[in-house]
Structures are given as structure tokens and as C-alpha cells.
Amino acid sequence: MPAKRIIPCLDVRNGRTVKGINFEGLADVGDPVELGARYAAEGADELVYLDISASKEERSTFTDLVRRIAERINIPFTVGGGISSVEDAARLLEAGADKITVNSAAVSNPQLITDIATRYGRQFVVVAIDAKEIDGVWRVTTHGGSRLTDRELFEWAAEVERRGAGEILFTSMDHDGTRNGYPDETYARLCASLSIPVIASGGAGCVDDIANVLDRGTADAALAASIFHYGEITINSLKRQLSERGIEVRL
């Protein structure tokens, strides 16, 4: 079984790393290149950069940022935000990104997943799914969690896999930024239904939370932001503690 991955997430707005709760109340937490370099040095397996504003006027800014990241960082990194065409994906991959992630555009145009995977290979395509539980049903949302759709988490994840995604990044909006843990049972069900890796996102507040989603939740990777951004734990320390609990990680 492959080692579990630890992936810091850096939400980027106007060239700065920001963090909020339930996708709101954003605060500046640092330079994305410097933070990424620090996390790489601490032992992160990968990084995820998300352009959360993704307005047209910032497209060139974000592409320049991707180039700067590629020049400085020696571990794989994924970028996303506002990708709605093969050309958008091409621009970021050619700037140095190892993978791209699509979310809202994939929901409105699922063929986009297939088109990017056909051109670059499924290993380059991560589909992000943001969902919230409503009356016992996990409903998919788009546009940074602001729009509720009629898609259901598990059926959409299955379609995403069929269409060529290499990984799924699932964020629980109900848990995002709360640091109260991940919905482990939901991750276990999702992972059991798929053959591609699942990255858990939204809710990490301590080592126990990450250990639980990797063990009980059977996620292939844990993505976290707040606990790293605010210096509550280093990635090296986190990995050592996970290893002591019998969870295989790269040390």
C-alpha cells in the first residue's frame, strides 16, 4: 500500500496566501512561495495552490506565481481555481505545475475532465469536490461553496472517475476551517466506492484528526492549512507522530 501523503493547502488571493472558516472571513497568512518552500523543507509530500478569487484580471498574476513556485520548490504541486478549458490547464502546466485541479467548471461541463485527461493523462487531473450535508445527503456545491447544485457527492465522484480524473480532492464545507476533524465515515464510504486516490480536506485541527481520516477514513492523503499556517505543528513532527501510530508515511 502506498504511503499516506501530507499536503499543505495554500489558498491564494491577489498573490497572497489567505485562510478562512467555511470559505469566509479570509485573513492574510503569508507569501505563497515562501510558505511553500518552508513546507517542502519540512517534509510535505505535495502542495496544493488554489486561486480562490480566480477573476480574469488575476489570471496572468497567478500564472506568474506558478512559475515562481516551480523555480523555488522541488516537490510536486497542484494548482487550481478558475480553470474552465483545456487551454487554462495547458497554461498552468506549461508554467510548471505538476497537476491541475478543476471544480466548478467540471460540474457545469463534465466533458472538461475527459478533454484534459485525454491531452495530458489522467495523472495530471485532480477533480475537487466541495460538498455539504443537507438532510443526510451530501450535496455538491460550486463557486467556492456559494452555489448549491443538484449533484450528489457519491454519484458525482463515480462519474468523475469514469471521465478520467486521476484523483479526487473532497472538501467538506461543514468542516472546512473549523478544525473539528474530518467526516471520517463519509471518507471511508467514498474511498471504498472508488479506485482512484482520495485527498481529504476540511477540518484538520490536530494530529488525531489527520490520523483518523487516514486510518478510519482510509483517505490516501490529508490536506490541511490552518495547523500549518499558524505554526501549531510542523510537518516533520506530524509525520513522526503518524508513524508512531502505525500509519505509513514518508519520513
In 10 A of CB 115, how many CB atoms?
A: 17
Q: Give the whole-angstrom CA distance, residue 191 versus residue 105.
A: 23
Q: Which of 51, 130, 184, 220 is catalytic?
A: 130
Strand partners, 7: 223
Question: How far is residue 129's CA from residue 218's CA, in Å, rounded to a whole number?
Answer: 17
Examine the residue annotation and report whether 51 is marked as an active-site residue of this protein: no
* Residue 28 is a catalytic residue: no
Q: Where are the beta strands (DSSP E) in the chain?
A: 5-13, 16-21, 24-30, 47-51, 77-80, 99-102, 125-134, 137-142, 147-152, 167-172, 198-201, 221-224
Longest dimension (CA), the chain: 47
- Write out the three cell numbers for 248: 505509513
Active-site positions read: 11, 130
